[in-house]
Structure 1
Amino acid sequence: MSPEAGRGVVARLNPVAKLGAALAIALPLVVTIDPVSALVALLLELPLLLAAGLSPRQFWLRTLPLWIAAPASAVTIALYGATSGEIYVEWLFVRVSEGSLMLALATFLRVLAIGLPAVVLFVTVDPTDLADGLAQIVHLPARFVLGALAGMRMLGLLADDWRALALARRARGVADTGRIRRASGMAFALFVLSIRRGSSLATAMEARAFGAPGPRTWARESRFGIEDVLLVVAGVAISATALAVSIAVGAFNPILGPA
């Protein structure tokens, strides 16, 4: 799975820095659910999103699930969320109140504030570069990193195998009717094929000393420079500013505390 080309400054940075910035933005916003912190974070993220260098088509296609999930979550919270304040609509299990509408707005902004930077930052990440950074910079176990990388590389083959199985079964006239029966049979065949390919891949990796003890060498050095540090600092600054503004205006609403 090759990353889409990005011409922005952020696209050329280390994948570990992108991961750190995304976590720095997301984790503090999980603590509270209020529209102020999410809105402030979303506004501060705009320069970061523009610096990724994605074209408008790439941006909207990649973030389309978020633009569907955010309104859907907001509507659900508005109809069935915690009731407080004035009640506007009440019918059976549906109860729209002032509090549920505020929670719906906070949920909508929160999904976008957490999801947009995570998606945009990882569009230009190459799995091999990410694995190099996790092993060399974060110092995760090489066996775990390389195994995960091999698994990610196999994801593209699963789609190809599914199409090949469908064409082969159609050519033989097998399961021409019954979508559920056909899908279950193909899923089982794909499962067996994946186990066989995984066993062959594991044997090949062991033969190439991927599981050997001791430190291993890397074909490409993963560098973490000053620009990468600035990206992580920007992520921390965005979340800290959002929380500070929320607390200052009295909108801070901790999830574990009273609503």
Structure 2
Amino acid sequence: MKVQSKKCLEHISVPDRVLCLHIAWNILFVGLASGSVVSYDLKTLKELDVFECHGPRGVSCLSTAQEGARRLLLVGSYDNTISVRDAKNGLLLRSLQGHTKTVLCMKVVNDLVFSGSSDTSVHAYNIHTGELVRIYKGHGHAVTSIVILGKVMVTACLDRLVRVYELQSHDRLQVYGGHSDMVMCMAVHRSVIYTGCYDGTVQAVKLNLMKNHRCWWQSCSMIFGVPEHLVLHLTEDHSNPNLQTVKCRWKDCNTFFSTQQAVKQELPKHMQSHVENDKLQN
């Protein structure tokens, strides 16, 4: 597609539904619902090969890597596994196992591939040995996108949150919210996190690990990167406007709201004041 004229320049016909695309070495790899991967020369658009990978389960995501001089194709599937293959002939070299549901996204960094799954976890595998090196937990739903930034990992999730993890310690450093629906895709450019939601909205927020806004509600340990997201978390996750009475459980606070009207009208303002006061103290 030519961007300026919006005219279709070329058209490629494939034998089944396209579920994912990946480009490397001037080759277009197309993952199909049949479980096959079709490769095309980007210059000529000539079909190069068809690899039968995970049939009858579909190919959910694709990535590439190097093993010495050998080019590797990584194929994620609805059968919960990732197959590591020779990118030239499709030969299966090893299978990465451990996820219990569909592998939805992958990111290759040096010798590791980080994979996000519907099982709510991110796994880190050694591409060359197949060893499962680390597991990152704490997501409330399927992980849809992964970005690696130096020593941290940013993940998007269907639970409407974006999380930031330290790669080595597995610790969750921050959370970003404010989304109106499930986060389906994500990109990070110049320290700005861009997220696309299921309802068609796009959000942009600055990633800043130096500013932390902790939820001090009893039994909650979430740390937000933006104070407004913490306010939303308090009003949506720690409050219910239908309750007749509520006691504030923010640290060192014993304020009691004794009527449903007070819960609806006064509690949200009360929560926001806690966030604003905590922000001033930090």
TM-score, structure 1 as length reference: 0.26
More strand by share: 2
Higher helix share: 1
